[in-house]
Every structure is written in C-alpha cells, then in structure tokens.
Amino acid sequence: MRKVACYVDGFNLYHAIHDLGRPHLKWLNLRSLAESLLYPDERLVAVKYFSAYATWRPDAYRRHRAYVRALRHAGVEINLAHFKHKDRKCYRCNHQWTDHEEKETDVRIALRMMEDAMDGLFHRAILISGDSDLVPVVETVLRRWPDKRILVAVPPGRFRTSRDLCGSASQRYELRPGRLETSLLPARILDENGRVVVERPPEYAVPERR
C-alpha cells in the first residue's frame, strides 16, 4: 500500500468555508475528508492541521479550541502558530488601531512537508490549501523526489485564485461543499468510556432539512 500524508492549511480552508455561508461545514472531520481522496491502493498515515488561535476574539477562540480537541480525538496532528499584533495608523485622519497578522503557518507546513519527504513518510501528499506561498515547497519536493506526488486540494470557491499553487502540483482538485457534507464530525464526541469529551458548538449545528 502506498502511503499518503495530508497537510491542512487551517485558515485558508476556514475562510473558504466561511465565504460559503454554511457554518456547519466548519465542523469538518479532516481525517475522513483525507480518506475520501485516497486511491484503492493507498493508506492514510498522517493528517496534519496547521492554524493559530485568534485569542482576542472570545467566541471564535472558544469554537476553535473545541474544534482542535475534536480533531485530536480523531487522530489529527495539531500544529499551532501564532498571531502578531501590529499597530496601524491612517495618515489621512490619524486614526490608530491594532491589527493581527497570522505568522509562521505556511513556513511550518513547508518545513513539515520537507521533513516528512526526507523521512520517507509518504509516497503522495495531499495539501489542502490555495495559498501561493506554498508553491516553493511543492516544487522543491517534486524536484528533489521525482517519484513522489502532491495533490493540491483547493478549498471550495478558491480554484481560480489558486492557479499558481495548482500549477506547481502533480494533481489538483477543488473540494466541493458536497464532499465536505459527507465528512462532518459528530455532534458529540465520546471517549472510550462513553463520556462526552467535546460537544459541537451550537453555531455549527447542521441545519434542518425542509
């Protein structure tokens, strides 16, 4: 069986789903999603999620922590970066404010993918992202290990704006909302003793069918 590892650009995927206006899709089982992209002769050896906590937004922070706990329970490896605070100023009106910029996520993805390629972890990698900053690592892995393959699975609605990343990969595919619908986490996640360890945030409840 050929080995497959999946690397997930958390915020790139999150914002794409957010733009769909279907918040229940954010409660996404990344392991199940990755498994749905395998060929019959492949096995999934790792799913690695990369993101950062927006700690200054209490509700979003609460939901994100619940999601991370759920992913860990599903066997997903969590890699968290951070946000950097930046002071901004409008030079026309002198208004000042604090902005937040995500740092290191793309670098962490690149380094982990390179490290895993060197260690022989995968024959094929699945990269869930549309970020062109990841073009160099995709090109480097494929050049350095020509027998390996990389599938860029672009988040919903981002295919047209991800041409550079798609062009660097062995394969490319746009994730559709229907595929996400079939890969959701359960509303309650239980431990081996049947106790609830994570509950789905109410904001991510699946809408009732009419």
pLDDT confidence of residue 81: 85
Determine the straight-line distance between the first and last CA of the chain, rounded to whole angstroms.
43
Domain membership flag for residue 210: no
Contact 122, 116 (CB under 8 A): yes
Domain that holds residue 182: 2-204
- Gap between the Cα atoms of 28 and 142, Å rounded: 29
Domain membership flag for residue 209: no
pLDDT confidence of residue 98: 54
Please write the tens of the pLDDT for every residue from 174-206: 999 999 999 999 999 998 899 999 999 999 999
Length of the chain: 210
CA torsion sign for 135, 70, 33, 55 is negative
- In total, how many domains does the chain have? 1
Q: Residue 152's CB: how many other CB atoms inside 10 A? A: 26
Domain membership flag for residue 43: yes
Give the domain CATH number at 51: 3.40.50.1010
Domain membership flag for residue 47: yes
Please write the tens of the pLDDT for every residue from 97-144: 555 466 679 999 999 999 999 999 999 999 999 999 999 999 999 999
Domain membership flag for residue 124: yes
Would you say the pTM of this structure is higher than 0.85? yes
- Gap between the Cα atoms of 77 and 48, Å rounded: 5
Domain membership flag for residue 122: yes
Please write the tens of the pLDDT for every residue from 11-35: 999 999 999 999 999 999 999 999 9
Q: Which DSSP string corresponds to the chain?
A: -EEEEEEEEHHHHHHHHHHHT-GGGGSB-HHHHHHTT--TTEEEEEEEEEE---TTSHHHHHHHHHHHHHHHHTTPEEEE-EEEEEEEE-TTT--EEEEEEEESHHHHHHHHHHHHHHTT--SEEEEE---GGGHHHHHHHHHH-TT-EEEEEEPTT-SGGGHHHHHHSSEEEEPPHHHHHTTBPPSEEE-TTS-EEEE--GGGPPPPP-
